[in-house]
Amino acid sequence: MSLFLIAALPFLGAVFPALLIRAGRNAAAGSTFAVTLLALIGLMLHAPAVLRGETVSARLDWLPTLGLNANFHLDGLGLLFAGLILGIGLLIITYARFYLAREDPMGQFYCFLLLFQGAMVGIVLSDNILLLLVFWELTSLSSFLLIGYWKHLPEGRQGARMALAVTASGGLAMIAGMLILGNIVGSYDLSVILQHRDLIQASPLYAPALILILLGCFTKSAQFPFHFWLPHAMAAPTPVSAYLHSATMVKAGLFLMARMWPVLSGTDLWFYIVGSVGLITMILGAVIALFKDDLKALLAFSTVSHLGLITMLLGFGTKVAAVGAVFHIINHATFKAALFMNAGIVDHGVHTRDIKQLGGLRHLMPVTFTLAMIAALSMAGIPPFNGFLSKEMMLEETTHAVWAGVPWLVPALAVFGALFSVAYSLRYIVHVFLGKTRHDYPTRPHDPTPGLWLPPAVLVALVVLIGLFPNVIATPIVSAAALAVTGTPVEFHPALWHGLTPALYMSIAAVLGGALLLAAHHGALGIWNNLPRPEAKVIFDAIIRATTAAARRITDTLHDGSLTRYAAIFLVFTLAISYYAFASGVLGPQTHTPLPISVMPVLGWVCLVGSALCVVAFHRNRLLALVLIGVSGLIVSLTFNYLSAPDLALTQISVEVVTIILLLLALNFMPQQTPRESTPARRTRDVVISITAGLGVGGLIYALMTRDFAMPSISEYHVANSYKGGGGTNVVNVILVDFRGFDTFGEIIVLGIAAIIIFAITEAVLGSGVRARLLNRKPSYPLAGDPHPLMMVVATRVMMPIALMVAAYIFFRGHNMPGGGFIAGLIAAIAVVMQYMASGFSWATDRQRLPYHGIIGTGVLVAAITGMGAWFNGKPFLTSAFGYVHLPYLEKFELATAALFDLGVFLAVLGAVLLALQSLARYAWQPGIVSEHPMDINPERDDASETIEGH
């Protein structure tokens, strides 16, 4: 099975539980189980090759110019983690089916679970750090949904927000670190990066890259000082805790540290940061866990402690320590997932997780007690279970670690942490299951159905089997994973007895000390409760409040609703960085001299500048400002034509006509004057900024026009390939429908959306009393007696077919001469708009046969289908195809798919313009009113408003 399919299966399968929940809870759970099982089978098909030391790869060049390739590879480390994700996932799926209550939306739960599963599989299989980062952030998002699954619990919502804030913040830091790493190597492919250890560690950017990447790893794996989010995430349902916080999500940071171990480890910086953080986390998590009364809180802090243990081993930087870390990842996943499910069974059977309300359950829940005892003893590192083997390796490696020249410090602290680990593990057994049977349980305890105890039983069986037969069960996969981490084969022969070694004495001391500490737990608890200590959650909440308040102050200061303020800030910033670029750059010598200029262009320039200045001076008179804007548009159109850009000239003049009509309609319902809002000081400021910006832009344009470009312009490529590549001699049109057809496709979609929004807004207003007030207002000027002059009606109806014929001519000639679908659509829209203006809204609407919404949709659909047609020819989306046809009695002529795409542009533009204009015009017309002219309604009539509102 392809690695692409293995990574995609959870995402593809996420839709099934959401749909099949209507068929029942078993159907939703069964579909989720089947998808996960299929992915696991696909993974196992590659296991023999991977265990032989081979690597399975799948490559897809997605965006090679950006270094973003959809590359996957499977080695021993990936096989280990993917196996844990999918294997334990099967057990969690089964467990959740019987754990969740009937009122819990199970389809939603399994959908979220598969999304998370897919993100985790994507992380461990990715061979591109950019792709890995995408999956990394997906784990934060999907875990947020799972942790906050019980939305009715405030602590669940808060735990989800906290987990997202911490892990996503670390993820942002890691993105920066990964980008630095890729920049050092010159590639974003992991398989390439892992081959350049010396280059990376010799780079001056090694330290910042390492720190940023470790921030992402530490936040995801709940390392000090980011450990606090994990216990609060325990408000999630127990299946989520068992899956995310013991076997998968929190292991993502460990996976990345192990994956990057070949190139980042081996330096003092790595040792002191990773080793020290891991050691502190191991001790701190173990100490806190001992004094937690909630079963899941105890297990959560024990998870933090064991994650710290693994981090510490990776931080030592030796190959044997790395092997021990890999081995403990397996062991921790087995006994910790089993214990979380066991805690859920206790909660399910007794209706409490408070240890103070438990005790004596071994007789009432013998199956649960047996599973808990084995898993907890493994967590404590008691032989003959698997936890003992990896704990011995950890203790042995601490004897070789020298911190700041002190050889005994790390072993002593490791024993101290192991002592507390034994204590809280024994407490889970003694205070929950041993002792006398109580009579005040919240409910009568009992063992669950097999659906709840079988999944942890499978893991407990592995705990025993790995402990008794490690070389048969664990050695192959640990050796393959260690090979992927260290890059060289490592001897791995775990055994329950290695003789009288320092690690054995340290282990005995930890077990005895842990037992004594448990016996003195009551007194130690009193000391702990009276001990002053910082609360991480309180600190986190204070930081969030302070950050939020600071962000609100900055936002309120910068975003006060003034568009002129925003424009001023933007322009001043742009001017500042532009000046810096000019002052620090080098401007080459002038290579072109200005050409002589005739009188007419000068007059046009004077008119353009004059109209622009008049708009500024008389902008408060909205109608006059609109006329002056039209003058500016007309001069710009003539300028385009003078500079041999007829396509732009046609587009500009067409847009000007449509825009003026649209704005005239809008102004008809607005006050004639714009109120004065700016103070003289602000106007003076704006004048200075605008003059400076204008001079700067003018200077830049002059500098560009009088100098040669260092690189050839892309226009040369377009000119050279317009005909042979797109089949057209009009380069502008070929660019719009072929070279940059995707841009055009997006633009017509945006144009259609804008028109539909205008329609939606006017539709909402028509249903309110606003329209009545608009129609009943008193006009500012006297109105003409005849709203629809006969001469204008006749002229527009005669011009209608002529204008449409011109539009058709412009459309068909567009591929080889100035024109095209955009310009033709505007001309056709003007032809129709003239009918609305001359004959009235009612007359034009009654003769309208096609809805403008449908015209927009048809245009977008035609353009999309034309673009997709290129796929059947093995070409990228929107690649044009063209050829020449010779029919009898006709000259040879060209047929091009670009014409169909241009037809879609034509329809979308036509529909969007007319829908927008019609939407605004509807304000001025209402069925049941005799006159169609808005101002024919007498504002003095008392029944005018009733006539309108009564419709």
Rg of the chain, C-alpha, whole Å? 37
Q: Per the structure block, which two tokens stand in for 723?
A: 């005909």
Helix 897-921 / helix 741-766 crossing angle, nearest 10 deg = 20
The domain locations on the chain are 267-519, 523-558, 599-676, 725-951
- pLDDT digit string (tens) for 590-633? 888 888 888 888 898 899 899 888 988 888 888 888 888 888 88
Tell me if 86 sits within 8 A of 40, measured CB to CB: yes
φ and ψ at residue 882, rounded to 5 degrees: -150, 160
Region at 840 (left for phi over 0; alpha for psi -120 to 50; beta for the rest): left
What's residue 455's pLDDT? 93
Read out DSSP for 237-254?
A: -HHHHHHHTTTSHHHHHH
pLDDT at 673: 77
**What is the model's pLDDT at position 779?**
63
CA atoms within 13 A on the CB side of 374: 24
pLDDT at 68: 76
CA distance 709 to 701: 13
Question: 79, 40 in Cβ contact below 8 A?
Answer: no
Residues 6+ apart with CB under 8 A from 358: 346, 350, 352, 431, 432, 438, 441
Tokens of 434: 């041993």
| H/E run at residue 58 | strand 56-58
Nearest to 342 by CA among 462, 467, 458: 458
- Token duo for residue 147: 């942790």
How do beta strands 882-885 and 893-896 pair? antiparallel
Inter-axis angle of helices 319-350 and 475-486, nearest 10: 130
**Are 21 and 29 spatial neighbours (Cβ–Cβ below 8 Å)?**
no
pLDDT at 272 (0 to 100)? 93
Q: Which helix (H) or strand (E) holds 850?
A: none
Which parts of the chain register pLDDT below 50?
Answer: 926-951
Q: What is the pLDDT of residue 781?
A: 62
Please tell me the predicted confidence (pLDDT) of residue 112: 92
Give the pLDDT confidence score for residue 643 in this predicted structure.
Answer: 85
